[in-house]
Structures are given as structure tokens and as C-alpha cells.
A and B are shown apart, each in its own frame.
Chain A
Amino acid sequence: MGLPELEQNRPCNSAGLGNYLWNDPPKEYKWADCVHCGLCLEACPTYEQLGQEQHSPRGRVHLIKSVAEGKLQVNEAFADPVFQCLDCRACTTACPASVDVGGLIEEARGQVRQAMPLSGWKAMASKFLLETLFPHHERLEAAGGLLKFYQKSGLQKVVRKTGLINIMPDHLIEMESIMPEVKTSVRKKYKDINVIKAKEKTKRQVAMLTGCIMDVMFSDVNQATINVLTRNGNDVLIPKNQTCCGALHVHAGDREMGRKLAKQNIEAFESSEKVIVNAAGCGCMLKEYPELFHEEPEWYERAQEFSAKVEDIAKYLYDTGYEIPKAELKTRITYHDACHLAHGQGIREEPRDLLLHIPGVEMVSMPNADRCCGSAGVYNLTHPEMASAVLESKMTHIPEDVEMISMGNPGCMLQMAVGVQKYGRNQRVVHTIQLLDWAYQKEEVQGGKNHGTK
């Protein structure tokens, strides 16, 4: 790939910026804050692995700026560092001037994808996943159904036993072995119910984003989220027309599809006052919807109104208060900061606080807890080698003597489960909200009634 593609795909706007020839280029005000000090270098997982500056945040910003200055073309040499980025945002946390490197990377990917559309099997796989599957809940359900069939029918056992698995690429084998057992999605379960009522008196009403992967692969986390919300006086709505948040599309440079999905969600949640999300990647995307509409002022405004309503479940509970469970869980855990929660949304203390208030939970701190695990949306599928190097480095920081690793993002949960399996560890990977739900359930079984609130 390279220049020929560039020529085939003529620019669709005349107001380009240097060698950015398409709509919605990386924004100058975002890179203008970078003074090239280099304090981001050590925060970057790909720089840690490769030690090369084009694979560091300031190097990438430098390249993005160089295209605007006409020194570099949007070609493969530019695409490589731009797509090698995990979009983990750790650099923005480290940056003294809070340069939005993630935003620049996503905009640059948008240019790359327009200049050099994917071809061959990559295009087919990407189109299938991003356009045919994720935005369509019913199809994802069907795929989930297939996975369920695969797991339940004994086919999984057959595949594993017969060695059929040996012909799968390594990273897919690792993935296959940790696929959570698929249960019924909450969207299916509650499809005929308008409002899931609070268990006791209603204090607030919230709408919930069920997510695409989350609801099929981790429907139990969605169920736990509903349980915890209703337990704490929230009526929960699951708007019917909601769709995939579009994060995977935007990360992959398909901003057009990202905008389409964003508009659908903005409309679907128009009448909601609060949008609760339990997946860090989705929450961060929803909060960043305005970034997609710099060239559509009307939608920019609507996106801003929408974003202000979005809240992560842990932060929401922390801010509005919740009942402290009475039952003891008696477990030692550690907490992993999902990048899009810690770096993307600045949510670090709230989930920890929530966990620490569950009786009997002992928290062992994880060094470098906010270091990326290598999941990064579909990064572990597109860049398996780097993803597993990043995972290996992450696993060395997970304390040995804990029973569970808690976190707030489904992508991390899958990746960490791969890590636990691959490195022969025995921790259970859980979502923060599940622990709280289990404590409530235990309390109900024990028949205890608790009056403590937070």
C-alpha cells in the first residue's frame, strides 16, 4: 500500500490541511500544546516495548503535525505508528499540558482509512465485524448464540480434543480458551419491560447503555449493574433504539460509521437524564461524541448535551450514594485501572472506594495499575504480537496472592482472562460492580438488612 491508493482516492473536501486531504483532519489546536518535552515517553506501552520515538506519543504527534506541514504523506509509513498506538491515553495523563494524543490519533486514523481503504481479507473481516455485526444487536445475539451452541453442544470439547485448535493462530487459541460462557443478554431478557423498577422506593431514573460485546459476552455484568442500580433506588430504562457506541469504529479510523452510531444513540437517549455505562471504553466514547461533529455544528451541540449525561456506574454510585452491603465477601482482590476509565475519564478512586467499602474485601494494590493490558478494543486482534507483549508486562505486576482481579471494562476482562490462563495464574477476573452485587445477594440470602449508606 502507499501512494497509488492515495491517487485512487481523491479528496472529498477542498479545505484540506497540508497533506490531510479529507474531512475532519487532526485538529491543530490539539497538537499546538505539545512542546516536545518527552515526559510522555515512559508512559507509553509501545515505546516501552520498541524504544523507538515514532512509536511514542510525542513522536506520533510530531508525525501528525508533519503531515499537516506537508513534510509527510498519509501513507503506510505514517499509518504504522498511528495504528500501532493502543489509544490507551496514558500519555495524556503524563503530559504536563494534557495534550489530547488519543483524539489526534483517532483523527489521523480517519485520514489514513480514507486515503488507504483496507483491502483483501482485512477489509472483509473489518467490514463484517464493524459494519455487519457490532451495530446490530440481533446479529450479535445470533453470533453469541453460535458461540453458545459451540460451547454447549460439545463442539468446543471436540475442537479442543481433536487438535483442530492447533490450526488456529496463537492469539485466537488463547482467546477461544477464555471465552466466557454466553448467557441471555439483558436486552433480550427485558425486551418487553419498559422500566425495570427500583426494588424499594424510586429515588432516580436512569437509562443504561447495554453495549454490544458486554451484553452478549458479559450479560451477567449487565445483570449485576441492573441489580445494583435497582437495589439503590434507581428505575432503569433500556432504550430500545440504542446501538453500539462506535468506539471500535472510531479507533479503527471509520469515523463516518462512528458518527452514524453516535447520532442513533444521541436520539435513543434523548429523553433520558442520565446514561449509565459499565464499560470504560464505551463510556469514554460517549463522552467524546462532540469530537466527531466538529464539522456539523447542530450535532456538535446535541452531542455535548448528550455527553454531559453520561456517567460510569462506579462514579454514579459514588456520587449519588449507595447502600453498603452487610454481608462479608471474605476475599483478597486487586484492582486494574481500565485505560479508558483512568486516563480517559479520570475515574480512579471511585471504583476503589466502592470495593473497599464491601465488608471482607481486602485490597492488594497493583503496581502500575493504570498500565494498559493490551486489549485496547480490537487491538489484541489487529496487533496480536504487541498486545501480548504488553499483556506479559502487565501480568508481572499482578500480585500473586489475590483471588480476584477487578476492573471496569469488558475488553480488559477478556484480555486479563487470557493473561491468567496463559501465565498459569489462578485469579478470577471480575467487574467491580459484580462484587458489589454478590455482596448484596449474599446479604439477601443471609436475610440481613443493612441501613448503612454511603
Chain B
Amino acid sequence: MARNKLDTNDPHILHLAKLVSGPNAILYKQEDLLAYDCDGFTIERHLPRAVVFPNNTEEVAKIVKFCSENKLPFLARGAGTGLSGGAVPLNNEIIISLVRMKRLLEVDFENRRAVVEPGYVNLKLTNSIADKGYYYAPDPSSQYACTIGGNVAENAGGAHCLKYGVTTNHILGLEVVLPNGDVMEISPNGIADFPGYDLLGLLTGSEGTLGIVTKITVRILKNPEAKQTVLAYFDRVQDGSQAVSNIISAGIVPAALEMMDKVAIEGVEAAAFPVGHPKDIAAVLLIEVDGIAAGIDEQIQLILDVCKKSHVREVKVAEDEAERARWWANRKTGFGAMGAISPDYLVQDGVIPRSKLPEVLERIHKISEESGLRIANIFHAGDGNLHPLVLFDSRVPGDTEKAIRAGSACLKACADAGGSITGEHGVGIEKKEEMRFVFNDDEIKAQTDIRDVFNPDRLLNAGKLFPTPSRCAEMKQELKRPEHAK
């Protein structure tokens, strides 16, 4: 099981190996590194220089300090389920894998908070406090496998973020290893609203470009007293979109309000968790309300009425927890399910004002026709967060490039409709050029200046989040970067 003997003369590898404890704590052979050449975003693949597996904050700090002093590019990785390429080693980085730091350090029910290490898996937190009636709200679809450290880096969202907010709304404190190896605590003891600048907010969603999070204090919530889930089928996408708008206008804030279109339905029904959606419908809505038991029935009735007024073909309420779980498994495995109808997919992540749903979906439909690639839509309709999934076959020459262009065009459509290019997956490598759809050069420069305060040598996760510099000033700065960091 353990292969501790090192078969290399590389002084950096030999030194790094001494900084980490535990069996087989460094990978450096090409064959072993292959599995780390990408994350959930598979279009760009690059081999890392090595992967190290620290067990605690001190080891992370030592590794970072060593990398910093020797000008070795490095980045942090969790479960590698990210969808924008945030953990792809573009510059032959040393990958600091945080998966062995997976302890639940503390649960404080009285103050409703928990302290976890970054490699702790999202769903495990909810599972380990469920018996006491508590849960952790942010629920990305990858929650079976993704780590809370990764959630912080990407400011992950999820189906239930419509009512409860995204990761940043649930982070109370962080311990961070800065790019020079210093360890910093932000908002120690998880005290809310610590004075000074909102560094928690800055770090959360910084996509691993400002520091490496080694300890996280999160908010935990009491389970809602009651919960009901509705499934509604529509013959026209416009009717489904209208129903979404009308539900919100009726004053209801559902815990989740999800939509899938025809191609997406074909995918989930062909995959491992089908629920028997009719094949000929144009859209399905999954609507969940929760809260105190009194009033839930009225809300459900209101939702049923709204759906009927929006020409719903069929609408039903989940009969029991098992049915509700089946509906959610079908929805939550939606991305991976595309494997059943396409060899590859590229998922996009645009945000638009809810009222623009029909118009943007129409444009996405046109993009699909023009590119000749099928596009499935799975999205958090309630908060206008679209996930167009461009289906393609990387074995067909030119298909990958076509998919990238189609994906970019979808984001342009979102930006043009007054929206944004990412809701929850992050920018990473994938959408860095599209940042120009929403920011001008000055705005981008202001943000890279902030990054450089934390990460002046740009050794930590370089080449992510912001577009390749186009202006002279930034080009000059870029030239100052150490040679091997590029």
C-alpha cells in the first residue's frame, strides 16, 4: 500500500518529501501524475510537477514557504470536481492536495457552527449532524464528493441557494496559509461581522489565487420543520419560465426552483436515476418549499395554482421522502448523466435576470442550431443561474473548439441580457477571456492589483480568473514574473 522509497535525484522533490508525513505523501512520476492533469473541466490538461499530501496546517505552510522561496509555482486541490479548471496545473505547478486534511474538528450546536478541515466532503457535514436535526445549507450538485475547501475557493452555490444563499453566506471564519507561507486567521472563533475589511468575503470565491484555506468555520442550520416538493411539466419553455417568474412574484421564496429542458431530460432519463419524465415535454420544474409546518400547504396550493395558470401539462406533489429523494437524485446527477447521451460536455454557468429567461433560452437554442451541437439546459431557474451543457465529441476534429465557441456565445448572451458569466462554478481557465464581457480593462486591473497584494510573485495558481493581459502596463508587469512561473 505504501511506496515510500523515492526514486529521483530532483532536489526539490526530495526536499518536499521531507516536509510531509504519512505514507506515500508525494507523487512525482509521470504515470502517477496523469490522474491530476485536469479536474471536472477536462478541455485543458497539463501535468503537475508533483502532488503533495499534507496532513495539517504546519505542513501546508512549510510546503508553501519552500515553494515561495524557491520560486516554484503551486496550487491547492480538493476533490477536483470543479468545473472551470481552477485546479488544473497550467504552469507545471506543485499541487498541494488537501484531501488528507478531512477532519471534522468541532461541532458547536449552541452557537450553530462547525469547524472543518478543507478536505472535508460537503455532504459529510450534513450527514454527521443530521441526527441532531441540523444541516449545512450550501448544496452543490457535486456535494457527494466535493470538499468544503473547494467550495470556499469557488464560492459554490447549489439548488437551495435561492433561499439560503451561497457559500459566502455560511462562512464564519477561515485559517489561511498565505502565498509566502504565513498562517493567518480571519475572524477567529467564527465571530460574525469582525471589524475591518471583509476579508472573508474577499477570500471566499477567490479561486485559490489569494491563499490556501486550511481551516473553515461554517454556519450550520436547524432542519426546516416541514418540506414539500412539486414537479411540474410544461409543453413550452416559455410557460415554464413564466411560472418561475410568477411563483416569485406571488411572494413565495422557494428553497429551490430548478428547471431542465428537453435535451437535459433525455440525458437524466437515459442515465442512472431516471424518474419517468415524459419524453415529449419541453421543460420540467422542480420546486421545493420549506419552513415552519403551518403555511406550507398554502404555499404549495399557491404554486399549483400558478402552474395551472401557466398552462402546465401535469403537476404533482411528492408523496413521500423516497419520491422526493428520487426527484433530487435525478436532478443532482444531471451533469454526469450527460455521459449517457454524449461522450463529452462543456457546462456553462451564466446568470441572468429571471425576466429574461425565455429570451436567453431562445438565443441559446439559436447558438445550438448554428454550432450544430446539442445544448442541454439544467438550471437554478429561481435565481436565474443557467447551466447550458454543450454536448460534443472530442474525438471529432474541430468539435472541441466548436463547443468552446458555443459555450462562450452562451455567456455573451447572458452578459448582453444584463447578467453575468458565472453564478457558482467560478471563472478558472474556462471563462477568463469572457471576463471582458462584464469588466473593462480598468476594472480587471483593479482586481489583479488586489491579487498582487496577497500573491505578488504570482506563484499561486497563476493564469486563472483574469484574462491574459492586453494592455502594455500589465504586459510589462507580466514580464517581471519569474521565468519558470509562466
Please tell me which one of the listed residues A37, A66, A383 contacts residue B1 in the complex, with CB atoms under 8 A apart.
A383
- The answer on a CB contact under 8 Å between B272 and A389 is no
- The answer on a CB contact under 8 Å between A38 and B79 is yes
Cα-based distance from A95 to B340 in the complex (angstroms): 11
Q: Does B344 contact A (CB under 8 A)?
A: yes
- The answer on a CB contact under 8 Å between B336 and A39 is yes
Q: Does A358 contact B (CB under 8 A)?
A: no
- Counting contact residues on chain A (CB < 8 A from B), the size range is 35 or more
Cα-based distance from A95 to B339 in the complex (angstroms): 10
- The answer on a CB contact under 8 Å between B34 and A72 is yes
- The answer on a CB contact under 8 Å between B339 and A96 is yes
- The answer on a CB contact under 8 Å between A385 and B1 is yes
- The answer on a CB contact under 8 Å between A95 and B53 is no
Cα-based distance from A56 to B79 in the complex (angstroms): 11
Cα-based distance from A386 to B3 in the complex (angstroms): 13
Contacts of A54 in B (CB 8 A): 27, 31-32, 34-35
Contacts of A78 in B (CB 8 A): 31
B342-360 interface bits toward A, Cβ cutoff 8 Å, 1 = contact, 0 = none: 0111000000000000000
Q: Does A164 contact B (CB under 8 A)?
A: no
Contacts of B343 in A (CB 8 A): 32-33
- The answer on a CB contact under 8 Å between B145 and A51 is no
Q: Which B223-256 residues have C-beta < 8 A from chain A?
A: none
How far, in Å, is A194 (CB) from chain B's closest CB? 44
Q: Is the interface of B mostly helix, strand, loop or mixed?
A: loop
Given the interface pairs A36-B38, A62-B34, the reply to whether A94 lies near B144 with Cβ below 8 Å is yes
Contacts of A98 in B (CB 8 A): 271-272, 340
Q: Does B126 contact A (CB under 8 A)?
A: no
Please tell me which one of the listed residues A62, A95, A96, A386 contacts residue B35 in the complex, with CB atoms under 8 A apart.
A62
Cα-based distance from A38 to B39 in the complex (angstroms): 8
Please tell me which one of the listed residues B40, B97, B144, B337 contacts residue A42 in the complex, with CB atoms under 8 A apart.
B144
Q: Does A34 contact B (CB under 8 A)?
A: yes
- The answer on a CB contact under 8 Å between B34 and A38 is no
A73-111 interface bits toward B, Cβ cutoff 8 Å, 1 = contact, 0 = none: 001011000000000000001111111000000000000
Contacts of B31 in A (CB 8 A): 54, 63, 72, 75, 77-78
Contacts of B56 in A (CB 8 A): none
- The answer on a CB contact under 8 Å between B34 and A97 is no
How far, in Å, is A312 (CB) from chain B's closest CB? 21
Q: How many inter-chain residue pairs (CB < 8 Å) link A and B?
A: 118
Cα-based distance from A94 to B340 in the complex (angstroms): 14
Given the interface pairs A96-B336, A97-B339, A385-B1, the reply to whether A35 lies near B345 with Cβ below 8 Å is yes
Q: Does A174 contact B (CB under 8 A)?
A: no
- The answer on a CB contact under 8 Å between A35 and B1 is no
- The answer on a CB contact under 8 Å between A66 and B34 is yes
Q: Does B334 contact A (CB under 8 A)?
A: yes
Cα-based distance from A53 to B48 in the complex (angstroms): 13
- The answer on a CB contact under 8 Å between A39 and B34 is no
- The answer on a CB contact under 8 Å between A38 and B271 is no
Closest to B333 in A: A96
- The answer on a CB contact under 8 Å between B24 and A50 is yes
- The answer on a CB contact under 8 Å between B345 and A39 is no
Q: Does B66 contact A (CB under 8 A)?
A: no
- The answer on a CB contact under 8 Å between A52 and B145 is no
B326-339 interface bits toward A, Cβ cutoff 8 Å, 1 = contact, 0 = none: 00000001111111
- The answer on a CB contact under 8 Å between A77 and B145 is no
- The answer on a CB contact under 8 Å between B336 and A53 is no
Q: Which one of A33, A71, A72 has the greatest number of beta carbons of chain B within 10 Å? A: A33
Q: Does A433 contact B (CB under 8 A)?
A: no
Cα-based distance from A58 to B79 in the complex (angstroms): 11
Contacts of A71 in B (CB 8 A): 34
Q: Which B106-165 residues have C-beta < 8 A from chain A?
A: 119, 121, 123, 142, 144-146
Cα-based distance from A117 to B371 in the complex (angstroms): 49
Cα-based distance from A411 to B1 in the complex (angstroms): 21
How far, in Å, is B291 (CB) from chain A's closest CB? 29
A45-70 interface bits toward B, Cβ cutoff 8 Å, 1 = contact, 0 = none: 00001111110101100110010000
Contacts of A58 in B (CB 8 A): 35
Contacts of B39 in A (CB 8 A): 36, 38
Contacts of A38 in B (CB 8 A): 39-40, 79-81, 142, 145-146
Cα-based distance from A41 to B146 in the complex (angstroms): 9
B305-337 interface bits toward A, Cβ cutoff 8 Å, 1 = contact, 0 = none: 000000000000000000000000000011111
Contacts of A77 in B (CB 8 A): 29, 31-32
Q: Does A226 contact B (CB under 8 A)?
A: no
Q: Does A341 contact B (CB under 8 A)?
A: no
- The answer on a CB contact under 8 Å between B144 and A96 is no
How far, in Å, is B98 (CB) from chain A's closest CB? 9
- The answer on a CB contact under 8 Å between B53 and A52 is yes
**Residues of chain B having any CB pair with chain A under 8 Å:** 1-2, 24, 27, 29, 31-32, 34-36, 38-40, 42, 51, 53, 79-81, 97, 99-100, 102, 119, 121, 123, 142, 144-146, 271-273, 333-340, 343-345
21 contacts between A and B (CB under 8 A): A33-B343, A35-B345, A37-B40, A37-B81, A37-B142, A38-B142, A39-B81, A42-B79, A42-B121, A42-B123, A51-B53, A52-B27, A52-B35, A52-B51, A54-B35, A77-B31, A96-B337, A97-B336, A97-B340, A383-B1, A385-B2
Q: A33-B343, A52-B24, A56-B35 are in contact. List 14 more A-B contacts (CB 8 A).
A: A36-B40, A38-B79, A38-B81, A38-B142, A50-B24, A51-B53, A52-B35, A54-B31, A71-B34, A77-B31, A95-B336, A97-B337, A98-B271, A386-B1
**Residues of chain A having any CB pair with chain B under 8 Å:** 32-43, 49-54, 56, 58-59, 62-63, 66, 71-72, 75, 77-78, 93-99, 383, 385-386, 389
**A-B pairs, 3 with minimum CB distance:** A96-B336, A97-B339, A77-B31
